[in-house]
Amino acid sequence: MKPKFKIADREIGAHHPPLIVAELGINHGGNLETAKAMVRLAHLSGAECIKTQMHIADDEMTQEARAIIPPNANQSIWEIIETNSLSIDEELELKLYTESLGLIYLSTPFSRSAASFLNEINVDAFKIGSGEADNLPLIDHISGFGKPVILSTGMQTVTSLEPSIALLREKKIPFALLQCTNLYPSPPETVALRGMDALRESFSDAVIGFSDHSIGPYMAIAAVARGASIVERHFTDSHYRTGPDISASMDPAELRLLVDQAKNIHLALQNSKGRTEAEEAVYRFARGSIVADRDIEAGTLLTNDHVWARRPGTGEIPASEYFEVLGRRAARDLSKNQQLKRSDLI
């Protein structure tokens, strides 16, 4: 049995279409109306799930963070978070709006108080970001709520993930692991699609997915083809916005492409090698049948000068039996291009 679990009423696992998570992050710039507009566009583009980031700066960071400037920004991480985060009340309003559209609302807490707040407003599951993938006190706190966890694994190895996974298992928390590269954007040479294979082999009880920070939809689509059951991607209403994550975000058109192709690829992944019923009509004309390659007299020993294979495949003897016909004799006179029957051979 392959691992699976539910978020709200949505089954997630290898036998179900991938859950596409539109990650708003801080792309809304701290503006609730912009965030709502992004949610609405994601909904119209086919998303099932919206994810935000829940920041409470003074519980998340110490003052040292005021001196740390991320590689994709020109402000300190403290200033970025403080400027671009929604308030607690706004986050709740965004959750209610998201769910009013029939979408699943998820959020990533970056602190103990943020996690507790999300639990109080009844999130259906928790997303833990790569930066917190080995934050054992936070993971222990979140697992105490008894809800499914989606854990991004960027910057981690299989070995470094083991203590976090042990905590989730101890609390009997269903969990998913997302392969991730924490560069914004991630150039192709840094994207490890095979990382999903390593996670699947090492943690057989985990649902496996992909958190994508590349440019364009193609790595995410490739991840679906490699069996990702969850695909998370930053989302923006426009690439013309400014912000540290915009370059690694998909717009509505890319989201629609990802949603549609994920469904199609999932369907195709369910099929094993074999001729389908839908191919039968093609099979009848596309294959060859054994025919007389010239007029043949009864009693003739048949060689490759006498018989060949030609379309359509409606004859009694298929092209695959060509070598079994050679060396037999004609039981009666045959005309050129006449499809051979088994009774024509002795």
> Could you tell me the fold of the domain covering 14-269?
TIM Barrel (3.20.20)
Q: How far apart are CA 14 and CA 229, in angstroms?
A: 6
Give the pLDDT of residue 78: 92
Domain range 277-344, its CATH number among 3.40.720.10, 3.90.1210.10, 3.90.1010.10, 3.40.50.10800: 3.90.1210.10
Q: How far apart are CA 150 and CA 168, in angstroms?
A: 11
Give the DSSP letter of residue 301: B
Q: How far apart are CA 82 and CA 331, in angstroms?
A: 91
Cβ(54)–Cβ(108) below 8 Å: yes
Give the pLDDT of residue 1: 82
Q: Any idea which residue has 């740390």 for tokens?
A: 68
Apex 164 CA angle, 160 and 167, nearest 5: 145
Residues 6+ apart with CB under 8 A from 3: 13, 174, 204, 205, 206, 207
Task: Label the pairing between strands 289-292 and 249-250.
Answer: unpaired
Measured CA to CA in angstroms, residue 276 lies from 71, 272, 283 at distances of 51, 10, 10
CATH 3.20.20.70 positions along the chain are 14-269
Residues 6+ apart with CB under 8 A from 2: 13, 14, 15
Cβ(38)–Cβ(236) below 8 Å: yes
CATH 3.90.1210.10 positions along the chain are 277-344
Give the pLDDT of residue 160: 97
Q: How far apart are CA 207 and CA 321, in angstroms?
A: 47
> Residue type for 212, please?
D
Cβ(6)–Cβ(219) below 8 Å: no
Residues 6+ apart with CB under 8 A from 107: 51, 52, 53, 54, 91, 95, 118, 123, 126, 127
Residues 6+ apart with CB under 8 A from 295: 333, 334, 335, 336
Give the pLDDT of residue 72: 72
From first to last of its 346 residues, the chain has per-residue pLDDT tens of: 899 999 999 999 999 999 999 999 999 999 999 999 999 999 999 999 999 999 999 999 999 999 999 887 888 999 999 989 999 999 999 999 999 999 999 999 999 999 999 999 999 999 999 999 999 999 999 999 999 999 999 999 999 999 999 999 999 999 999 999 999 999 999 999 999 999 999 999 999 999 999 999 999 999 999 999 999 999 999 999 988 899 999 999 999 999 999 999 999 999 999 999 899 999 889 999 999 999 999 999 999 999 999 999 999 999 999 999 999 999 999 999 999 999 999 9
Burial of 189 (0-12, 13-18, 19+ CB in 10 A): exposed
Q: How far apart are CA 133 and CA 61, in angstroms?
A: 16
Residues facing residue 178 across a β-bridge: 152, 209
> Residue type for 105, please?
Y
Q: What are the backbone dihedrals phi and psi of residue 282, each rounded to the nearest 5 degrees, phi first?
A: -70, -40
Q: How far apart are CA 303 and CA 209, in angstroms?
A: 58
Q: Which residues of 166-182 are buried (b: 16+ CB within 10 A; e: fewer)?
A: ebbeebebbbbbbbbbb
Residues facing residue 230 across a β-bridge: 19
Cβ(229)–Cβ(269) below 8 Å: no
